[in-house]
Amino acid sequence: MKASKYLIPTTKDDPQDAVVASHKLMLRAGLVRKSSSGLYSYLPLGLRILKKIENIVREEMDLSGALEFQLPILTPAEIWKESGRWDKMGKEMFRIKDRHDVENCLGPTHEESFCTLVKPMLKSYKDLPINVYQIHTKFRDEIRPRFGVIRSREFTMKDAYSFHLDEDSLDKTYQTMRKTYRRIFSRMGLETIPVQADSGNMGGSASEEFMVVSPIGEETLTICPSCNYSGNIEKTPTSFLYPKHIPSGKEEPVATPNQKTIDEVANFLGIEASQTIKAVALSYDGKYVLVFLPGDRELNENKLKNYLVANELRPMGNSELQKFGLVPGFIGPSIKPQSDLLVLVDTLLDWESAYVAGGNAVDVHIKNLQLKNHLDPNTTTSIDLTQARAGDQCPNCQAPLKAEKGIEVGHIFKLGQKYSKAFDINVLNDKGKANLTTMGCYGIGVNRCMATVIEQSNDEKGIFWPISIAPFEICLVSIAKAPEDQAKIEAVYTELKKKGYDIIWDDRDLGPGFKFKDSELIGYPIRITMGKGFLEKGEITVLDRKSMLEETIRFQDIGDLTSVLDKKISELKADLERRVAAV
């Protein structure tokens, strides 16, 4: 490919609305252009990268035995209502009506679509297991798209769905997909950590996210250096040994004028926030819950939603608080029991310790309060509801956990029979009896992988792509004006093309400095420079973009160059192959 016939709209300056490296560099390197909030057009260079990522995903999925399909992006509302997710998906689901006033949505995921598609095809246990997938467009109406294609509204996803006769079969495919995902990400040059995760709206018994550690990650990972446990903060069980505080006297009210927040109360009374009790009053699906937890902790809404089997949580309004006699900023456990108010206590609270808690009256707290004096430990549910954090005990070995930010690039789920029940997907077992199938689900964010590689592979000059997904493996920069000199360089370029090298020739009528900066910004793994040294002395410079190390070779025939290129390409590919082999 000749750059003079290509479109390479690079820019020098960072876009104003881009705040992370991948977003800045994708725009500057001419890979994408913003269409509107959360929507991006892929330019030729960017599309080549995206297609190479797709090909890696496709090759590994096919190798695992999965079968590729392609389903419509527009999906009918009726199948979402049948599964019960039409309302549960919330406002992220982009709902539309056609000219016949029929409700549809742009698919944010395709469990329902694949279930209705394969149901009539699955008759017997002999048809199972089967794993079906597609690489296609998804749409989620994000309230706040950010970080370019890392969190966009329209994106490309590889989503796969497996159907099984039993849990043992599901587990085999789940483990195959786990290994397949590690291979996929390793081939892209991504270092991932599988972490235990919350299944969320997907449902199911187990799930793992494949995370890439990054300071811009929107997820927080808990990692144990001792036993290699890893989990999403939303899923990690919380365990921490707080010191026990013996009551210094009887329970008594203390005036705390205008001290409503935990920090205000703790500072006012000269105690640690952990010695207070935090109260969180919420409404869920028309019902009400009051949660008590240590004052220095945050409520993990995912844990609470899973326990309550709730669609949405929201803070109680003033009228709802008044209904239960709850005073905002001063809610404590000394409340009268009410049948329509569920009270939950976090497991980190000690029923014997002394705390400061709200006095259920304006400007009043109670000190030396013990939970056992106000709530019955035999009838009050005590469960893990707090968010894990660095320093908490590892759920496996009790060593202190570390916390890291991470970007999710893939997610696998054991869905169980949630969707099989909803769509009545039965097959005949070997005894001729109807058997409800069980399912797995496996997703990879293709665009997000592209951006995440950039987050891991950039420097002050631009991007340095792993050779497996680079837009072109080699960039030939020519520095020549005379037609006869250009012809000599073109002859070398033509020979390299014939030999099958993935190469772009920057033959544009631009200065060498501009061409060098473009090649380094875009991130071609190997750069060949042919100019005065080549024309006068037969010298060619070969640059490794990642290390920025150069070597000069003497060129007498094409074999002198191809031997160096083959060695360099082999070295770059060998590094990726070592990662894959280690999976």
pLDDT value of residue 199:
54
In this prediction, residue 202 carries a pLDDT of: 46
Is the domain spanning 19-72+108-218+404-455 CATH 3.30.420.40? The answer is no
In terms of phi and psi (left: phi > 0; alpha: psi -120 to 50; beta: otherwise), the region of 88 is: alpha
Return all residues near 34 (Cβ < 8 A) that are at least 6 apart. Answer: 17, 27, 40, 41
Tell which residue, 155, 77, 88, has the closest CA to residue 116.
Answer: 77
Question: Which residues lie across from 254 on neighbouring strands?
Answer: 365
Q: Which CATH superfamily is domain 252-383 in?
A: YbaK/aminoacyl-tRNA synthetase-associated domain (3.90.960.10)
What residue segments make up the domains of the chain, in order of their start?
A: 19-72+108-218+404-455, 252-383, 463-581
Q: Which CATH number fits domain 463-581: 3.40.50.800, 1.10.540.10, 3.40.190.10, 3.60.15.10?
A: 3.40.50.800
On average, the pLDDT of the chain sits at: 94
CA distances from 279 to 69, 263, 292, 318, 331 (A): 50, 14, 5, 15, 6
Query: Encoding tokens for residue 274?
Result: 């952990």
Reduce the secondary structure of 339-366 to three states and give it as a string. CCCEEEEECCCCCCCCEEEEEEECCEEE
CB 83 within 8 A of CB 111: yes
In DSSP notation, 176-225 reads HHHHHHHHHHHHTT---EEEE---GGG--SEEEEEEEE-TT-SEEEEE-T
The one-digit pLDDT tens for each residue of the chain (583 residues) are 999 999 999 999 988 889 999 999 999 999 999 999 999 999 999 999 999 999 999 999 999 999 999 999 999 999 999 999 998 888 899 999 999 999 999 999 999 999 999 999 999 999 999 999 999 999 999 988 999 999 999 999 999 999 999 999 999 999 999 999 999 999 999 999 999 876 554 445 578 999 999 999 988 999 999 998 998 888 899 999 999 999 989 999 999 999 989 999 999 999 999 999 999 999 999 999 999 999 999 999 989 998 998 878 999 999 999 999 999 999 999 988 888 999 999 999 999 999 999 999 999 999 999 999 999 999 999 999 999 999 999 999 999 999 999 999 999 999 999 999 999 999 999 999 999 999 999 999 999 999 999 999 999 999 999 999 999 999 999 999 899 999 999 999 999 999 999 999 999 999 999 999 999 999 999 999 999 999 999 999 999 999 999 999 999 999 999 999 999 999 999 999 998 888 7
Whether pTM > 0.75 for this model: the answer is yes
Count of CA atoms in the C-beta half-sphere (13 A) of 305:
17
